[in-house]
Amino acid sequence: MTKTISIINQKGGVGKTTSTINLGYALASSGQKILVIDLDPQGNASTGLGIDRGKREKTIYEFLVNRNDDPNSFISKTKTENLDIICANEDLSGFETEVADDSKRAFFLRDVLDQIKQKSQYNHILIDCPPSLSLLTIMALVASDTVIIPLQTEFFALEGVSQLIKTIERVKENLNKNLSIQGVILTMYDRRNKLSSQVEQEARKYFGSKVYKTVIPRNVRISEAPSHGMPVIVYDKNSSGSIAYQELSNEILNGSYAA
């Protein structure tokens, strides 16, 4: 069965899209069939996987608007075998306004992904959520089986994520009773900085076994890779960031988390 995972944090710049791209690549490289859904109007996941803006003829926006169309017509191949994507662009930013009066709008993404799941062609669907607690984020949570939360090891990190946890709980109570937190990724970890260690301790105390053992270091190669349209694992496979994401994907595949 296909498992849908939202990679989510309402704060920008925490490694959400980077984690989506690199986990998608690492899982695909291990033989898993992966579909990435770019649900951010900025379209950074699409760019990071090498899909130029001019080549995004059919996007998640059109898919949500034309929900009865053939799902395969919206799926783009990436340069990586087993890794596909449904792209996004700025058109998505107006979607919430367009469907504001539709009482079923929270279920639109779930409905279109169900069409894809029925064909059982993917092991995992990874949703790169926008950096806000908007309708698009709610739609992603309604469509997902689990969520993965990238948490930067910086000041106020845990305080900021508390609102997200409340949102997840409300969606689970009212819209998706099967939703659960799969794991928490500690990102931008600096072993030279005492604050990173303190945030890690607090996160593991708060989330317990849901915090992955693998942490993602602060690494310049991770920042450079998206501008070249590729995951850091391709850009520099021997960098500390690349090795960390490969280890994280192995941890996810081996079930070393509380699902």
Q: Evaluate whether residue 218 is within a structural domain.
A: yes
Residue 156: the pLDDT is 82
- CA nearest neighbour of 61 among 106, 101, 17, 94: 94
Give the pLDDT confidence score for residue 200 in this predicted structure. 94
SS3 36: strand
Task: Give the model's pLDDT for residue 256.
Answer: 43
- Contact assessment for residue 85 and residue 51, using Cβ atoms and an 8 Å cutoff: yes
CATH classification at residue 148: 3.40.50.300
DSSP 187: E
The residue segments making up the domain with residue 203 are 3-253
Q: For the chain, list residues with pLDDT below 50.
A: 256-259
How many angstroms separate the CA atoms of 59 and 86, rounded?
6
Tokens of 113: 């992904």
Question: Rounded to whole angstroms, what are the CA distances from 28 to 20, 83, 159?
Answer: 12, 6, 34
Query: Looking at the domain assignment, is residue 258 inside a domain?
Result: no
**Looking at the 3D structure of the chain, how many domains does it have?**
1
Q: Return all residues near 237 (Cβ < 8 A) that are at least 6 apart.
A: none
Task: For the full predicted model, state whether its pTM sits above 0.85.
Answer: yes
> Edge-to-edge, what's the strand order for the sheet holding 211-217?
76-77, 83-86, 34-38, 124-128, 3-7, 146-152, 180-189, 211-217
| Other Cβ atoms within 10 Å of 246 Cβ, number | 19
User: Residue 259 falls within a domain, yes or no?
Assistant: no
Q: CA–CA separation, 68 vs 45, rounded Å?
A: 25
Q: How far apart are CA 72 and CA 54, in angstroms?
A: 19
Residue 95 corresponds to which tokens in the numbers above? Answer: 């979607």
Does residue 83 sit within a domain? Answer: yes
60 falls within a domain: yes
Coil, helix or strand at residue 225: helix
DSSP secondary structure string for all residues of 84-107: EEE---GGGGGHHHHTTT-TTGGG
